[in-house]
């Protein structure tokens, strides 16, 4: 591909998604390429009434961008990596990931509820993982589903009188939200949380070569482990599954777990790992299954 050809970038139309697309565009422009951002409304953005896990669509935030790629409406698509299913459509691959920044989940409180302790909050979140991990630690909370972009959810925090809303810290940082938050270190992040990914067609070698220049290799490797774990465990992106590779000094640690919907059972593994070892995600998933993860997943499938 010559540098004169414009690279068409597909993205969801939310402010956060546009920010991520603009970040990718800037990196490509720094390499001398011209870019054009093309917003596309996803299935997940069209229906804001049902929680994600009830929509019944695999890749609820990625499907429409996949179609745009396959129809050559765009050359690449930018996503939050945690939204991308572990099995991609034929001829689409993850061609680059950017360096992970903030993987944590955080609580933003209603100013009226700053005096309440964690065990008695009314929390808004559409994530089964966040709900289940919270219930496992704090038994007396109540939960409501919430959908929409960051700005919409912050408005609902006060208009619907929730005590707090759970966000990805990466989203708040990228949107430069100057608000108070509390890091929820008892919730294991979703696999690949806090990572921007770029997909393209496998047979478009020129685009893949370009994208390889913006790929962050360490982030690519650790998210491969997290996503392999999720795939072998056979849990979709809406299941209450956490997986996170962290770097502490010069060592890498893999923490993974699953919690039942009631929050009464949590199965968790945390070990130091060697990134060069193959099939790490598979090994941890099989170990979690042997400890009872299969039963939790089957119960969840029968109840949502």
CA–CA distance from 78 to each of 38, 70, 73, 120, 148 (Å)? 10, 14, 14, 38, 19
Q: Is residue 184 a contact partner of residue 165, using CB atoms and an 8 Å limit? A: no
Q: Distance (Å, rounded) from C-alpha 226 to C-alpha 280? A: 9
The β-bridge relationship of strands 92-97 and 196-201 is: antiparallel
Place of tokens 């982030």: 219
Measured CA to CA, the distance from residue 220 to residue 178 in angstroms comes to 30
- Name the percent of the chain in helix, strand, coil, to the closest 5: 35, 25, 40
Number of residues that this document lists for the chain: 304
- Cα 191–117–257 angle (5° rounding)? 20
CA distance 113 to 303: 32
d(CA 86, CA 164) in angstroms, rounded, equals 31
Tell me how far apart the alpha carbons of residues 20 and 186 are, in angstroms, rounded to a whole number: 27
As annotated, the active-site residues are: 83
């Amino acid at each position: 591909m010559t540098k004169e050809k414009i690279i068409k970038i597909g993205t969801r139309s939310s402010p956060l998604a546009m920010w991520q697309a603009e970040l990718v565009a800037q990196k490509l422009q720094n390499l001398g390429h011209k870019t054009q951002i093309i917003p596309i409304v996803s299935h997940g953005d069209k229906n804001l009434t049902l929680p994600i896990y009830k929509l019944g669509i695999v890749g609820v935030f990625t499907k429409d961008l996949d179609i745009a790629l396959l129809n050559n409406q765009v050359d690449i698509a930018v996503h939050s990596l945690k939204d991308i299913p572990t099995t991609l459509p034929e001829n689409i691959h993850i061609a680059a990931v950017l360096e992970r920044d903030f993987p944590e989940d955080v609580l933003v409180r209603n100013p009226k509820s700053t005096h309440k302790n964690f065990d008695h909050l009314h929390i808004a979140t559409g994530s089964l993982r966040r709900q289940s991990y919270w219930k496992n630690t704090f038994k007396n909370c109540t939960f409501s589903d919430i959908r929409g972009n960051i700005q919409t959810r912050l408005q609902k925090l006060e208009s619907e009188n929730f005590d707090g809303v759970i966000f990805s810290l990466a989203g708040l940082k990228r949107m430069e939200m100057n608000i108070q938050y509390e890091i929820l270190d008892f919730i294991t992040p979703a696999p690949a949380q806090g990572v921007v990914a770029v997909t393209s067609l496998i047979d478009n070698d020129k685009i893949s070569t370009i994208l390889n220049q913006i790929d962050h290799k360490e982030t690519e490797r650790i998210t491969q482990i997290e996503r392999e774990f999720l795939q072998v465990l056979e849990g979709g992106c809406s299941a209450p599954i956490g997986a996170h590779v962290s770097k502490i000094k010069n060592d890498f640690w893999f923490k993974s777990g699953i919690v039942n919907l009631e929050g009464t059972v949590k199965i968790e593994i945390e070990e130091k790992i060697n990134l060069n070892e193959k099939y790490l995600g598979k090994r941890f998933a099989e170990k979690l299954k042997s400890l009872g993860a299969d039963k939790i997943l089957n119960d969840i499938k029968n109840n949502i």
